[in-house]
Amino acid sequence: MPETLANARLVLPDGEVHGWLRVHDGRITDLGPGAAPDRGDDLGGALVVPGFVDLHVHGGAGASFQDADAARAVAFHRAHGTTTMLASLVTAAPDDLLRATGALADLAADDLIAGIHLEGPYLAEARCGAHDPALLRAPDPAEFDRLSAAARGALRMITIAPELPGALALIKTAAGAGVLAAVGHTDASGAVCREAFDAGARVATHLFNAMRPLHHREGGPITAALTDPRVTVELINDGVHVAPDVVRLAFDAAGADRVALITDAMGAAGMGDGRYRLGALDVEVRAGRATLAGGTSIAGSTITMADAFRRTVLDVGLPPAQAARAASLTPARALGLAGRIGSLEPAKRADLVVLTDDLAVARVMRNGRWL
């Protein structure tokens, strides 16, 4: 039976409308301003945004996508509004990475994840962050083929440092195979990054973090990504990785059509302070900040996409429509899924999040069903 959501502040691609929305058979069938044409579920004027799309998440609720309890991480992030996600894997030994990729392919087949993101192992040691430097390696086409085969069509993105030997060739191979190539964990110059974008890379992995910093005489990856209209830039807006004014700078430079909010969340998301694992490395979480045990390197985040959205509105000062675009439509477009998800529009999948007045998650609908 059709379900009507009435008396809602609908965040649409071009702004906010007080109105109604109708759902049937897992799809949005109609919406409009003003009073609903039939009696429906009165949302009391609550804000309704499209379901969040996270391109980059490693785990949550104490679980990791690297391990057998990955489905628990999916359930946690769905409950917090992320209706579509890529499961990200950190650098690991070849056999371990192959095993984890095969396991996640099962989750993709069951529609728990939208695909797999390999964040490594082809990263620069100087910018490896929370990746085990002993397990980094040069781009290997044969290994890429094995991982692609294990993913059974679910490999959607791979992060590569473009300065490594063979990196540009692998970027071309990945792009040709329909895998989204991303530039990240890199010490490359701006010129090399532009070569990578010309070779087919279309994403900058967590802009500003784990990459050569911007300098006024050498803009590096940051300037190359922000000034290339083909490139989607990921941002971790958790108040730790990037300061709010720098987040605003990125939005001003690239616009909400090219900024994709991500969580980069690890298993500690939704949990308390303590000790956790990220791949092969130990992580300590204190006051919500995750760092490598005994060090200062940030080891992912502990936020949800709902947190990233709320911070973008309240701390960065963007209107909800722009924040929703960066949290939903822009990452959906990067994945080639904008025709199906990412915005509240007729014929798209009924993925949506109802928010409270303080922008906390009240209810989540995925594929037309309340979670």
The yes-or-no answer on residue 357 being catalytic is no
- Residue 79 has a pLDDT of 98
Q: Which two tokens stand for residue 366?
A: 């995925």
Question: Distance between CA atoms of 108 and 102, rounded to whole angstroms?
Answer: 10
Distinct helix (H) and strand (E) counts, the chain: 10, 20
Query: Would you place residue 296 in the very low, low, confident or very high pLDDT band (cuts 50, 70, 90)?
Result: confident
- Residue 299 has a pLDDT of 87
Over residues 299-312, the pLDDT tens digits come to: 899 999 999 999 99
pTM for the predicted model, two decimal places: 0.97
- Quick one: average pLDDT of 171-184? 98
Q: Which DSSP category does 135 fall into?
A: G
- Quick one: average pLDDT of 124-147? 96
Q: What domains are there in the chain, each with its CATH number?
A: 3-49+346-370 (2.30.40.10), 52-334 (3.20.20.140)
Selection from 312, 292, 316, 288 nearest residue 301 by Cα? 288
Over residues 222-259, the pLDDT tens digits come to: 999 999 999 999 999 999 999 999 999 999 999 999 99
* Residue 1 pLDDT > 90: no
Q: Which residue of the set 264, 282, 315, 351 is catalytic? A: 264
* Residue 295 pLDDT > 90: no
- Residue 68 has a pLDDT of 83
Q: What angle do CA 136, 85, 370 make, to 5 degrees?
A: 155
